[in-house]
């Protein structure tokens, strides 16, 4: 919990007692790309998206400029569109606009959700990283975000993380707000259940899908069996 959240007291056992509200839509899978991709990734992505229901795919490539990401994005965006999977660009409002992406994901240093809305229009999905902070999540909601993301729930090799929320933040959020919430960070088929039970609307997953020794399609099937 962050300093700003100190005035928001919650029973620490809240999540244990909470079962997902059956009136909320089922939890869905949101795939995050590997940090780098090779020529064979398009085939891997297509197989993963065909293996089970995936709501969204985020292109998250670090250390490349927008032109390079745009070149890599083109075939992947088509694969998503053909399978009715939302194509989300990480970090860059300008690149999301240039590509006509279905959405953009913004970290706390990546720009403002209000500005993104002005530039991208009403139908583009805007997601905002909120770490373990109820305060940031409420701010993001007020700024017009379409989802808030909490994490990292578990240790992850994919990026260095500095926040570890308790699953109770998901049950608190979904009890109080309609706006969807995403759980992210080290999520695997083995540890996902508490996040699903706490009410996560989406599980955002990278490593556990792309690095599954049985292959990405098999990993999607393992998650799908839980959702």
Ligand X SMILES: Cc1ncc(COP(=O)(O)OP(=O)(O)O)c(N)n1
Contact (CB, 8 A) for 208 and 187: yes
Tokens of 170: 């998901």
* Residue 182 interaction partner, one of ligand 3NM, ligand X, Mg ion, none, beta carbon < 5-8 Å per kind: ligand X
One residue of 30, 95, 206, 222 binding ligand 3NM per CB under 6 A: 206
156 is in an annotated binding site: yes
- Tell me how far, at minimum, the Cβ of 184 lies from Mg ion, in Å: 12
* 62 marked as part of a ligand binding site: yes
d(CA 16, CA 147): 24
Binds ligand 3NM by CB under 6 A, chosen from 127, 186, 189, 199: 186
Q: Which residue has the tokens 């240093």?
A: 109
Please report, as residue ranges, which positions from 89 to 118 form the binding site for Mg ion (by CB under 5 A): 91, 107, 110
Examine residue 184 and tell whether it contacts ligand 3NM (CB under 6 A): yes
* H or E stretch covering 190: none
Contact between 69 and 59 under an 8 Å Cβ cutoff? The reply is: yes
Report, in Å, the least distance between residue 205 CB and Mg ion. 17
Shorter beta-carbon distance to ligand X: residue 2 or 214: 2
Q: How far is the CB of 163 from ligand 3NM (least distance, A)?
A: 6
Parallel, antiparallel, or unpaired: how do β-strands 28-32 and 125-129 relate? unpaired
Residue closer to Mg ion by CB (options 104, 187) is 104
Name the nearest CA neighbour of 76 among 112, 104, 114, 49. 49
Residue 128, classed as helix, strand or coil, is: strand
CA–CA–CA angle 34, 159, 206 (5° rounding): 35
34 touching ligand 3NM, by CB under 6 A: no
Binding of ligand 3NM by 152 (CB under 6 A):
yes
- Judge contact between 130 and 149, C-beta under 8 A: yes
Minimal distance, residue 157 CB to ligand 3NM, in Å = 6
Q: Which parts of the chain are beta strand (E)?
A: 28-32, 56-59, 86-90, 103-106, 125-129, 147-151, 181-184, 202-205
Check residue 32 for interaction with ligand 3NM (CB under 6 A). yes
Question: Which of ligand 3NM, ligand X, Mg ion, none does residue 2 bind (CB under 5 to 8 Å by kind)?
Answer: none
58 is in an annotated binding site: yes
Q: What is the distance between the alpha carbons of residues 48 and 198, in angstroms, rounded to a whole number?
A: 26
Residues that bind Mg ion (CB under 5 A): 91, 107, 110
Residues that bind ligand 3NM (CB under 6 A): 32, 129, 151-152, 156, 158-159, 161, 184-187, 205-208
- Please enumerate, by residue number, every residue annotated as part of a binding site: 58-62, 90-91, 110, 129, 156-159, 186
């Amino acid at each position: 919990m962050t300093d700003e959240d100190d005035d928001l007291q919650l029973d620490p056992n809240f999540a244990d007692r909470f079962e997902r509200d059956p009136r909320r839509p089922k939890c869905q899978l949101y795939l995050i790309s590997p940090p780098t991709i090779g020529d064979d990734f398009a085939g891997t992505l297509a197989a993963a998206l065909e293996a089970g229901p995936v709501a969204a795919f985020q292109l998250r490539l670090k250390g490349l400029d927008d032109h390079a990401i745009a070149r890599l994005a083109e075939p992947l965006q088509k694969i998503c569109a053909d399978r009715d999977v939302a194509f989300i660009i990480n970090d860059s409002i300008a690149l999301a606009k240039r590509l006509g992406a279905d959405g953009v994901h913004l970290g706390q240093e990546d720009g403002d959700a209000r500005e993104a809305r002005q530039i991208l229009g009403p139908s583009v999905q805007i997601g905002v990283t909120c770490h373990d902070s109820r305060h940031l999540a409420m701010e993001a909601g007020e700024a017009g975000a379409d989802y808030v993301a909490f994490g990292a729930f578990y240790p992850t090799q994919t990026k260095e993380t500095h926040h570890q929320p308790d699953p109770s933040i998901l049950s608190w959020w979904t009890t109080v707000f309609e706006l969807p919430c995403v759980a992210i960070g080290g999520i695997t088929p083995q540890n996902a259940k508490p996040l699903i039970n706490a009410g996560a609307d989406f599980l955002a997953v990278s490593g556990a899908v792309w690095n599954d020794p049985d292959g990405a399609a098999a990993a999607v099937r393992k998650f799908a069996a839980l959702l």
